[in-house]
């Protein structure tokens, strides 16, 4: 039983609670498994059910998510939680179509929740599964095209429907050996389960049918069914053709310090990193003199200015190239500014600073002394 023997023991694989599965799937979008583990455990410890999530204050919710990035994910989770606890009386829908109507739940997440939590024959096609599908079928089309992904979803859903009530091992075809039963490390009941198949496909793509030019075909439990392996073209697939490059933005970040306290400000409620706290920053790469002038325009005297190491952060469509300055200010202090002067402990525990600024946040939370 390949998946039961080889699959990783991950905390979200020990449950069929749709809420817990939902949390894990949203966290795992664009984020590495090892990073998610601690966030997942901490999140569920504080927000153990959909009611707790629906009632969580936004500021605390963003702090729990701090460092995971793509903050619209957790905002949509709360919106969905409010709908589930209100209109749905706290009951998660098991139907993929109903799940897709909830904020932030697309076809992959709907398929994952429906198949893993409810054993519905619905495909969950993420990058790992799409790569397996492309190699198994020797697909030479661009997998980044939405139509190609939809076709994979349709074909895998049809396969799941065919296998739903058959005993594991009898149907042949595209099958992960040992994908029946309730999950890795557990006894199987001898019957095919869509949730186990879903997780086995994801695990196969993560551990064996990996990206890059050297898939581990010799270790693959389904290489005998793989058309790309038969043709000797597994290393060439899948085809990925990106149509757009990231836009590059130069930004200058200011660590404005009043004693130990550091200035933070809140971003607008709409747009990139909406509603998050950040260090004051402007577009462009400023010199030290221009940085001091900017602080003066905000109503503060720059006593000392120290350049900080450069950093960069990648969003899906934008790359920030960051320059930074640590600036110690003196009198006078303004009271009509949008800046909040936060102590290091508040930045650690209260204000959610996006990972885009992590190079500068670490300087505050790990080194409290002021510049000299």
Cis peptide upstream of residue 332 (ω within 30 degrees of 0): yes
**Strand, helix or coil at 70?**
coil
Residue 256's contacts (CB-CB under 8 Å, 6 or more residues apart) are 262, 263, 279, 280, 295, 300, 327, 329, 339
Domain spans of the chain? Answer: 2-236, 247-365
**Strand, helix or coil at 284?**
coil
Do 254 and 280 contact (CB within 8 A), yes or no?
yes
- Round to whole Å and give the CA distance between 357 and 351: 13
Question: Residue for token digits 């970040």?
Answer: 253
Do 31 and 69 contact (CB within 8 A), yes or no?
yes
- Round to whole Å and give the CA distance between 280 and 295: 10
Distances (CA, A) of 179 to 1, 4, 115, 176, 194: 7, 8, 13, 5, 8
First vs last Cα of the chain: how many Å apart? Answer: 63
Size of the chain in residues: 372
Handedness of CA 145, 147, 150, 152 (dihedral sign): negative
Neighbours of 8 (CB within 10 A): 12
Residue 58's contacts (CB-CB under 8 Å, 6 or more residues apart) are 75, 78, 275
- Round to whole Å and give the CA distance between 70 and 29: 9
The CATH superfamily holding the domain 247-365 is Nucleoside Triphosphate Pyrophosphohydrolase (3.90.79.10)
* One pLDDT digit (tens) per residue for the chain, 372 residues: 788 888 899 999 989 999 999 999 999 998 899 999 999 999 999 999 999 999 999 999 999 999 898 889 999 999 999 999 999 999 999 999 999 999 999 999 999 999 999 999 999 999 999 999 999 999 999 999 999 999 999 999 999 998 875 644 444 444 444 444 444 434 345 567 899 999 999 999 999 998 888 889 999 999 999 999 999 999 999 999 887 788 999 999 999 999 889 999 998 888 888 888 999 999 999 999 999 999 999 888 899 999 999 999 998 889 999 999 999 998 656 666 779 999 999 998 899 999 999 999 988 877 544 444
Q: Which of 25, 153, 193, 326 is catalytic?
A: 25
The CATH superfamily holding the domain 2-236 is Hypothetical protein; domain 2 (1.10.340.30)
- Round to whole Å and give the CA distance between 130 and 322: 35
User: Which of these, 241, 202, 209, lies nearest to 137 by C-alpha position?
Assistant: 209
Helices (H), 164-311: 194-207, 227-231, 288-297
DSSP secondary structure of 98-143: HHHTSTT--HHHHHHHHHHHH--------HHHHHHHHHHTT--SBT
Element (H, E) at 72: helix 72-86
User: Which of these, 294, 304, 361, lies nearest to 329 by C-alpha position?
Assistant: 304
Do 147 and 198 contact (CB within 8 A), yes or no?
no
Do 198 and 125 contact (CB within 8 A), yes or no?
no
User: Among this protein's residues, is 87 annotated catalytic?
Assistant: no
Question: Residue for token digits 């898939």?
Answer: 215
């Amino acid at each position: 039983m390949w998946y039961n023997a080889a699959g990783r023991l991950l905390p979200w694989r020990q449950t069929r609670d749709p809420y817990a599965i939902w949390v894990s799937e949203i966290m795992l979008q664009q984020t590495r498994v090892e990073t998610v583990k601690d966030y997942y455990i901490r999140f569920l410890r504080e927000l153990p059910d959909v009611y707790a999530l629906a009632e969580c204050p936004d500021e605390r919710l963003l702090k729990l998510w701090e460092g995971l990035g793509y903050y619209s994910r957790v905002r949509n989770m709360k919106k969905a939680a409010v709908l589930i606890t209100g209109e749905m009386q706290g009951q998660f829908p098991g139907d993929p179509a109903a799940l897709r109507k909830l904020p932030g739940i697309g076809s992959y997440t709907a398929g994952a929740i429906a198949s893993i939590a409810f054993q519905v024959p619905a495909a969950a096609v993420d990058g790992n599964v799409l790569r397996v599908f492309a190699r198994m079928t020797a697909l030479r089309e661009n997998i980044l095209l939405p139509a190609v992904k939809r076709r994979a979803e349709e074909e895998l859903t049809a396969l799941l429907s065919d296998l739903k009530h058959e005993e594991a091992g009898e149907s042949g075809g595209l099958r992960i050996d040992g994908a029946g039963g309730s999950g890795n490390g557990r006894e199987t009941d001898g019957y095919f389960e869509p949730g186990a198949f879903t997780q086995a496909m994801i695990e196969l793509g993560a551990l064996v049918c990996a990206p890059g030019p050297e898939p581990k075909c010799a270790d693959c439990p389904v290489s005998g069914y793989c058309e790309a392996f038969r043709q000797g073209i597994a290393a060439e697939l899948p085809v990925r053709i990106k149509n757009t490059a990231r836009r590059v933005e130069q930004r200058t970040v200011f660590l404005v310090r009043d004693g130990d306290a550091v200035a933070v400000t809140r971003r607008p409620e709409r747009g990139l990193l909406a509603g998050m706290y950040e260090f004051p920053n402007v577009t462009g790469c400023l010199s030290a003199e221009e940085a001091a002038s900017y602080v003066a325009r905000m109503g503060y005297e720059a006593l000392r200015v120290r350049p900080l190491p450069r950093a960069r952060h990648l969003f899906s469509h934008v790359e920030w190239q960051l320059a930074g300055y640590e600036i110690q200010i003196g009198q006078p202090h303004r009271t009509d500014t949008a800046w909040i002067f936060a102590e290091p402990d508040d930045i650690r525990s209260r204000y959610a600073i996006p990972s885009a600024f992590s190079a500068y946040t670490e300087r505050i939370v790990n080194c409290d002394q002021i510049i000299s």
